Amino acid sequence: MAQVYDIVVVGGGIVGLGTALALKAREPQLRLAIAEKGARVAGHQTGHNSGVIHSGLYYKPGSLKAQLCVEGGRRMVAFCQEHAIPYRLCGKVVVATETAELDRLAELHRRGTANGVPGLRRLGPDELKEIEPHAAGVAALHVPSTGIVDYTRVSEVMAELLKQQGVDLLLNAEVTGVREEPGQLQVTTGQGTLLTRQLINCAGLHSDRVARLMGVEPDVQIVPFRGEYYFLRPERANLVRGLIYPVPDPALPFLGVHLTSTVHGRVEAGPNAVLALAREGYTRTSFKGSDLWETLRFSGFQTMARRFWRTGCYEYYRSFSKRAFARSLQKLLPAITVDDLAPGGAGVRAQAITSQGALVDDFRIVHAGRASHVLNAPSPAATASLAIGEHIAQTARETFARAN
């Protein structure tokens, strides 16, 4: 006998878990399941990120990212307080290392103010040293509301709460097929068949594929970009007090290599951004022919690659050259040397790219029939997960109610 649900959420990352929590908070009687293909929650982007609670500085005012990051950051801090999850509002500095970056720094200040980020302050070189004694720059922006947390821990607590609320968390339950039937969907998973009235696709690196399983042809494809980290050797961790970021390149959706304290007392340096040769390709040698072929033959990727080939080549060079990585960090932190860097982990970002080759910047959520698809949820989606969940729960239920 197939299990029958009101809603099946595909994906046990922080966005799927946040969405399930919001759905249950709105309608406690819902019969809900989460189908996760891995053996645990948070096994992909959520468990391989920088652990930053972003403040909402970078995003275009009025965008979903701007709205949901500021609100989501507040909710994330409240969630950590309520459930005794370690976090720290350590603050961050965004450092302009040359005068050519000053206009972009001023634009960040304007955006942050427009987005309601509290306490922003422009710093001169001496004021920067008071906050981060080893950082160097011509000017900086201090963002005191930025924090750090372990999103794997947050996700585990979310999963536990959901189980207590009667949600079925199905692990090793990859969704491999979805068939539309009168009044319901038949969902084939690694743990058997589920029947559901509605489905919410939060499958991260595979969200475009899950949408296609349902006959939806999204205008975007996920292209995986690996981000590699180093750790600062423990005896050099005192070089960094909080978070030190460069001024990002507005043409790219990534923030540039930065230095991040973690709640576990270490300092991470990174991540860079290289094309991953597999959607779940966490090492340089990870390779999956079908994933790579899907990327290479995608017209959007080809257009993007023609535009950014120089940046791409440099990122590859820096991926193989620890010296080049150290040189990037030295712009922010002159005292750092190659010997201070020890190997760290890596994460893979699910970046949606349009068929015209544009890197989708904002969160993208599409509602179609009985399903809603989260087709782009890059950084700061971990920070914003509780607010994204609330947004999806509201829009998905309203769209579904109108259509049925």
Tell me the one-letter amino acid at 68: L
Name residues contacting ligand FAD, limited to 378-397 (CB under 6 A): 378-383
- Cβ atoms < 10 Å from Cβ of 217: 8
CB-nearer residue toward ligand FAD: 11 or 91 = 11
Question: β-pairing, 192-201 with 52-53?
Answer: unpaired
Map residues 155-184 to x or -, x wherever contact with ligand FAD holds by CB under 6 A: -------------------xx---------
Q: Give the interface segment with ligand FAD, choosing from 37-45, 57-65, 295-303, 336-344 (CB under 6 A).
A: 37-45
Q: Give the interface segment with ligand FAD, choosing from 41-49, 86-94, 286-294, 327-335 (CB under 6 A).
A: 41-49
CB-nearer residue toward ligand FAD: 36 or 390 = 36
Given a contact cutoff of 8 angstroms between Cβ atoms, the answer to whether 273 and 351 are in contact is: no
The full length of the chain comes to 404
349 binds ligand FAD (CB under 6 A): yes
Task: For residues 362 and 357, give the distance between their C-alpha atoms in angstroms, rounded to a whole number.
Answer: 15
Map residues 361-380 to x or -, x wherever contact with ligand FAD holds by CB under 6 A: ----------------xxxx
Binding-residue total with ligand FAD (CB under 6 A): 41
Q: Give the interface segment with ligand FAD, choosing from 45-53, 58-66, 159-167, 303-311 (CB under 6 A).
A: 45-53
CB of 360 to ligand FAD, least distance (A): 13
CB-nearer residue toward ligand FAD: 19 or 97 = 19
Q: Give the interface segment with ligand FAD, choosing from 12-20, 24-32, 82-90, 113-121 (CB under 6 A).
A: 12-20
Task: For residues 298 and 339, give the distance between their C-alpha atoms in angstroms, rounded to a whole number.
Answer: 40
Q: List the 147-149 sheet strands across, edge first.
A: 52-53, 147-149, 87-88
Task: For residues 90 and 52, give the distance between their C-alpha atoms in angstroms, rounded to a whole number.
Answer: 10
Q: 9, 20, 32, 35: which one contacts ligand FAD (CB under 6 A)?
A: 35
| Bridge partners for 185 per DSSP | 180, 196
- Cβ atoms < 10 Å from Cβ of 242: 22
Q: What secondary structure, in 3-state letters, does 217-244 show?
A: CCCEEEEEEEEEEEEECHHHHHHCCCEE
CB-nearer residue toward ligand FAD: 140 or 255 = 255
Q: Give the interface segment with ligand FAD, choosing from 203-211, 245-253, 298-306, 361-369 (CB under 6 A).
A: 203-211
73 binds ligand FAD (CB under 6 A): no
Record the tokens describing residue 271, joined without a space. Answer: 């991540």
14 binds ligand FAD (CB under 6 A): yes
Q: Give the interface segment with ligand FAD, choosing from 50-58, 124-132, 242-250, 364-372 (CB under 6 A).
A: 50-58
76 binds ligand FAD (CB under 6 A): no
221: alpha, beta or left? (left if phi > 0; alpha if psi -120 to 50): beta
Given a contact cutoff of 8 angstroms between Cβ atoms, the answer to whether 218 and 366 are in contact is: yes
Record the tokens describing residue 152, joined without a space. Answer: 């794997």
Choose among 224, 228, 128, 180: nearest CA to 369: 180
Note the residues at the interface with ligand FAD (CB under 6 A).
10-16, 35-38, 43-46, 48-52, 54, 174-175, 202-206, 210, 227, 271, 347-349, 377-383
